Amino acid sequence: MVPWGALNHLYKGLATIVIALIALQYLFGSVLENRRTTDTAESLIAQYNRYRNHNISKPRFYQGAPISIEKTNNNSILISTILNYNKSQATNNNSSNLTQFNENPSAIPNCPIVSPDLEGPIQVNKTISKINELEAQFGSWLQPGGAYAPTNCVSQSVVAVIVPYRDRAENLLLFLAHMHPFLKKQQLDYAIYIIEQDGTGPFNRAMLMNVGFTEALKHRQYQCFIFHDVDLLPEDDRNLYNCPEQPRHMSVAVDIFKYRLPYQTLFGGVCALTRDQFISVNGFSNMFWGWGGEDDDMSNRVIYHNYHISRYPVNIARYTMLTHHKQKANPKRYETLVEGKKRYSQDGLNSLKYTLKQTKFNLLYTWVLVELHAPS
Ligand code: BGC
């Protein structure tokens, strides 16, 4: 018979071993977990740097910052940004241009509302550069997707610039050449989205805006949206591309209109709405095929929903319009506009139908190619 004292020792010994094993598993488990995260981050950064050096396929990004993509227990995919990634902490270690994580992002101050880099009136250069020349010119600070964020302060505005597009290659080059330095000077955290309508059917500018809004929100929680024609270039950098309390009509004074607002309710060309404002008016109507009327419908939506249109003064909100072939005007635009009010709640973001053909994070812009479907 084993004496009770010996049994007691045996139990105590076993319990100690079990506790020690649990502690070891806990310790090594967390070390391994950290290692795994670091490895993922490092490999993504290596991919990022290789991509920036132009010789490999595109890495995975979340608006410029590398992302990790993992399978979760229930077999869904978890996409997470690598937190603490911040270009401001990037160090060039001579040969490898390795980017490091910012250990303490809160140390970076907020950017002032009005950037100290503003100049006021600026030149509009109409000399066309090739895409690779622009990439070389902006490549040291732009991130894939046509994205930028200040490196020495945290921007007050996270902005998506949504540009409806088809068949305006020269306008697009001038637009990109002008807008990137313009937006950077305003210390915005932004990305440019070019939303291209596939096919040759009538153009639907408003629907492309709705697509841009929807697709951009899949990439990032933008709070501010600037809906922007590709042929309009701002002439003064005090025209801030942020979202004030009320929806803002931005292209107030356009050269071809002799720098005068054609009519008080005009909301076309360039306008800014917060995410919440855009959702509350149900986005743009999807019913305007061909030129005209869709911006007037948006203006009516804004007013109907008890907002008012805000504007900068004419000496600041000045734009140059680039030349291009005129689109065919929509003969039904007036009747569609007049009936608009009946449809605000059923025609817009909630009735949007499209097929996403492609999304590409080019260095100068996020390209979204879509086929639009008329709402049933
Ligand atoms: C059209 C608008 C256009 C405005 C200025 C109006 O007649 O309906 O779509 O923005 O003219 O050109």
The four Cα atoms 94, 100, 106, 112 give a dihedral, to 10 degrees, of: 50
Per-residue model confidence as pLDDT tens digits over 109-125? 999 989 999 999 999 99
Please indicate whether residue 93 or residue 296 has the higher confidence score (pLDDT). 296
Which runs of E-coded beta strand occur in 133-249? 147-148, 158-165, 189-197, 224-228, 232-234, 248-249
Q: What is the identity of the amino acid at 23?
A: A
Q: What is the pLDDT of residue 9?
A: 73
pLDDT band for 324, please (50, 70, 90 cuts): confident
Tokens in use for 84?
A: 């603490």
Contact yes or no for 203/197 (Cβ under 8 A)? yes
3-19 mean pLDDT: 69
Measured CA to CA, the distance from residue 276 to residue 138 in angstroms comes to 32
Q: Is the CB of 268 under 6 A from ligand 1?
A: yes
* Radius of gyration over every alpha carbon of the chain, rounded to an integer in angstroms: 26
pLDDT band for 179, please (50, 70, 90 cuts): very high
CA angle at 252 for the pair 316 and 236, rounded to the nearest 5°: 25
Across the chain, mean pLDDT equals 82
Taking the model in full, what pTM does it have? 0.75
Q: Which residues pair with 356 in a beta bridge?
A: 370
Q: Is the CB of 234 under 6 A from ligand 1?
A: no
Per-residue model confidence as pLDDT tens digits over 220-237? 999 999 999 999 999 999
Q: Which of 252, 285, 296, 321 is the best mutation target for the ligand 1 pocket, counting ligand atoms within 8 Å of the beta carbon and taking the most?
A: 296
Taking 80 as the threshold, does the pLDDT of residue 105 lie above it? no
Contact yes or no for 282/347 (Cβ under 8 A)? yes
Q: What is the pLDDT of residue 326?
A: 86
Measured CA to CA, the distance from residue 326 to residue 204 in angstroms comes to 14
* Nearest CA owner, ligand 1 atom 3: 292
Q: Is the CB of 338 under 6 A from ligand 1?
A: no
**Distance, CA 293 to ligand 1 centroid (Å)?**
6
Q: Is the CB of 212 under 6 A from ligand 1?
A: no
Ligand 1 atom closest to the CA of 267, numbered from 1:
10
Taking 70 as the threshold, does the pLDDT of residue 2 lie above it? no
159-165 mean pLDDT: 98
Contact yes or no for 192/365 (Cβ under 8 A)? yes
Q: What is the identity of the amino acid at 268?
A: G
